[in-house]
Structure 1
Amino acid sequence: MNIGLVRHFKVNFYTKMFMSSADFKQWVKQYDNSDVIENKFKIGDIKWDKCFSSDLSRAIKTSQSIFKGEIIKTKLLREVPIAPIFNTNIKIPYIFWCISGRFAWFFQCKSQTENKKDTQKRVNEFLDSIKDESSNNILIVCHGFFMNTLQKELKSRGVTGRTIRTPKNGTLYLYKK
């Protein structure tokens, strides 16, 4: 069984350098609904039997571009939600909101709608749902931060492949079981 992990194509959306917490919330909503910029994609020599995709539009558009067949969309593959860690009207660098939100996720702070344990539960639920697909080659299109938890769980289940810390958009990462 081959498993191909793909981070969606790059999102076509401008990021302001400084944002209030309300600006950041709005930015997340707009980012989630933005179009993608397709890149040249190398599918490899493997015949992919099935494609599972996050149900967010950027992942669906990527899936439709790289896979010609039925795409099974699921919210289990969605990106880990991110929110500001506090409310303020002060404009703070965008990168602060991103980094602090991910630290808050890791330390299971209440500012985040999903914490690390929730994400791990979602990953396990998805992997349990595809365990009967062992005779198929599966393509999974999802999101960068989510992929970190997904690949750790794949490896704990005996799947081999390179560990990718910062997955590139529109790139295939191959795993085998």
Structure 2
Amino acid sequence: MKQIGLVRHHRVTEGYPTKGWISAADIEAWIERYDVSTIDVQPVELGNIDWTICYASSMPRAVQTAESVYGKDIIVTDLLREVPFPTIRSRIRLPFLAWALIGRLVAPFSKRIQAEIKDANERIAVLLNQLTFEQQEHERVLLVGHGGMMILMRTALKKRGYVGPRFGHPRNGMLYLFEKREG
């Protein structure tokens, strides 16, 4: 049986902006801080599975998480990098949650965001094709990355015959196990 485990990076210590009404420039500054923030390392239950290989997104929070949960060499890859947070060019000021909601609402209509999602899906396909080739040697693959990529990865794994849990917003530091029976 082939197994792929998805783990979202540990919680980032740079919290969401809470200072009230913020601008698009404030969001971009927050994203820069978030991308280099430290993480809150917590124990991760990996299902008592002897993972044979581990890939991690090249973003620091994912690499640090992988190092904290996997005791062997890690393959760091840009293929698992996060889909960028949607930003909007505007001078208006809104609460952070309003910016997040607007980002979700405009995503289906934004050519830039759709292109980034398409790129992410292509990167996932490249990685899964690589894993398919390598899985004769590595039956249990651990992937450490980001929430948005995990949602896209789940869809791609299901299309390839893997069975695994449903999730809307993956939790930090939690294993989501996908399995595929051979034959």
Question: TM-score, with normalisation over the residues of structure 1?
Answer: 0.91
Q: Tell me what 2:132 maps to.
A: 131
How far apart are 1:97 and its partner, in Å? 2.1
SS in 2 for 1:160: coil
State how far apart, in whole Å, the 2-side matches of 1:121 and 1:103 are.
23
Q: Which 5+ residue runs of structure 2 have no aligned equivalent?
A: none
Among the aligned pairs, what percent are the same residue? 35
Q: Which moved more, 1:146-155 or 1:120-129?
A: 120-129
Q: Which 5+ residue runs of structure 1 have no aligned equivalent?
A: none
Q: Tell me what 1:42 maps to.
A: 45
How far apart are 1:134 and its partner, in Å? 2.1
Are 1:72 and 2:81 counterparts? no
Q: Tell me what 2:17 maps to.
A: 16
Q: Which moved more, 1:10-19 or 1:57-66?
A: 10-19
Alpha-carbon distance change, 84 to 64 in structure 1, aligned in 2, over 3 angstroms: same
Q: 2:102 aligns with which of 100, 103, 107?
A: 100
Whether the aligned pair in 2 keeps the contact of 1:79 and 1:143 (CA below 8 Å) is yes
SS in 2 for 1:3: strand
State how far apart, in whole Å, the 2-side matches of 1:32 and 1:165 are.
22
State how far apart, in whole Å, the 2-side matches of 1:74 and 1:107 are.
29
Q: Tell me what 1:6 maps to.
A: 7
Residues 25-174 of structure 1: pairs in structure 2 closer than 5 A:
25-88=28-91, 90-110=92-112, 112=113, 114-135=115-136, 136=138, 137-174=140-177
Whether the aligned pair in 2 keeps the contact of 1:105 and 1:116 (CA below 8 Å) is no
How many equivalent pairs are there?
A: 175
Note the alpha carbon deviations across 1:27-65, whole angstroms, 9 max, x for none.
111101001001121122211000000000000010000
Matching residue's letter, 1:86: R
Q: Which moved more, 1:10-19 or 1:48-57?
A: 10-19
Matching residue's letter, 2:55: F
Q: Which runs of 4+ in 1 moved over 4 A?
A: none
How far apart are 1:114 and its partner, in Å? 4.4
Matching residue's letter, 1:104: V
